[in-house]
Amino acid sequence: MQRINKISSFILLLLISGYYCLSQELIPYRQKDLWGYMSTDNRIVITPKFEETRPFQYNRGIVMKNKKLGYIDTTGKIIIPCKYDTAYDFFERHRDTLVASVKMGGKWRNIDLFGNEKPYQYPPGRCGGDFGIVIEYGTYKINNLFGIVRWKEEYDSKNAKILFKSDTIMKPQYIELKHVDNSQIFIANNNKYGLISPQDSIIKSFEYDTIYFNFIENIIYLKKGENIGAVHSFGNTLAEVKFKKLTKVSKGLMKAELHNGKLGYIYKGKEFWRED
């Protein structure tokens, strides 16, 4: 019986996860002071009636009523009452268990998709995995010019030790060179900023006043004058360089503000704006 329950729970998780991609396409949408959701083809799916709405994950969206947070499904039905002071998206605690971290009355707790309380634990971090071959890129400097070097770490199981190797893959040629992350993209500066790969192929031309990498969001922000845009760490464009402010909300979805104060969202390059 216990095995059957585990199998049933896992099937439920798969079904819920199937909703994930669909529900991600519901975009928070505001009319005057109330928030609802719209589809990617600009149809209002959930009428604006909340003080705040957040993107859906696992068929649950966080909403605010009377300054308290709760969760709705993709039809707009409140599944978990708005009673929490703080609420976060659901995450996979075990292979067959989804929970969200919420705070009420100064106490943290975990809840399942229907609001039932579970033993509390922190959301998972970005770590783990088996040790194998690790390749890292970095910069080095000779005569005030920067180049790129690659380090390789490999575990020698026979002798139980780590082997280190390094090789130069770009000779010093840049006045400034900043390592962004390990997705093979670097920020280089020669009066203007651009993006290059370790192989010196240009990802973004040298035309920006500032480029900075947000390692938590895994996004590179580009700034030219008063305009800001964003690309994924692999160089794919997320938002054109024309906004006053940009903030990542979830995978593929960014909150945006234009210089005229207009607020909206960008989903996979497509823009969705509120109605005042």
pLDDT digits (tens, 9 = 90+) for 85-120: 999 888 876 656 788 989 998 888 899 999 999 877
Beta strands 44-50 and 219-224 are unpaired
Cα gap 154→138, rounded to integer Å: 17
More confident residue, 275 or 112: 112
Q: Which two tokens stand for residue 56?
A: 């859906």
Cα gap 67→89, rounded to integer Å: 18
**Residues 8, 14, 20: CA angle, nearest 5 degrees:** 145
pLDDT digits (tens, 9 = 90+) for 11-70: 444 444 444 444 447 888 888 888 999 888 888 899 999 998 988 888 999 999 999 999
pLDDT digits (tens, 9 = 90+) for 49-61: 999 898 888 899 9
Phi-psi group of 107: left, alpha or beta (phi > 0 → left; psi -120 to 50 → alpha; rest → beta): beta
The whole-chain average pLDDT of the chain stands at 79
Map out the domains of the chain as residue ranges. Answer: 2-118, 133-273
Virtual torsion, Cα 58, 64, 70, 72, nearest 10 deg: -50
Please provide the distance, in angstroms rounded to a whole number, between the alpha carbons at the two ends of the chain. 55
Q: What is the pLDDT of residue 123?
A: 57
The distance of Cα 114 from the centroid of its chain, to the nearest Å, equals 25
In sequence order, which residues have a C-beta less than 8 Å from that of residue 161 and are 6 or more positions away?
A: 155
